[in-house]
Amino acid sequence: MGIEELIKKTVQCAFNVRMHLAAGFLESVYQKALWLELQENGIRADMEMPINYIIRIRW
């Protein structure tokens, strides 16, 4: 799957979640719904991944 197709499928999945779930749910509900929608469309995704970052403090 090319990057353009992946982007289109991902946006469509997000749109599907938005159309099927009304406003007012906790963020975790939308997160799980999007994850399931992605899986059903053959897009592998992780729920949450830790990221490393560096904060540069200037005095």
Q: What CA–CA distance (Å, rounded) separates 56 from 54?
A: 6
Region 20-27 average pLDDT: 93
pLDDT at position 57, please?
A: 83
Full residue range of the structural domain in which residue 21 is found: 1-59
pLDDT tens sequence across 24-56: 999 999 999 999 999 999 999 999 999 998 888
Count structural domains, the chain. 1
- pLDDT for residue 15 is more than 80: yes
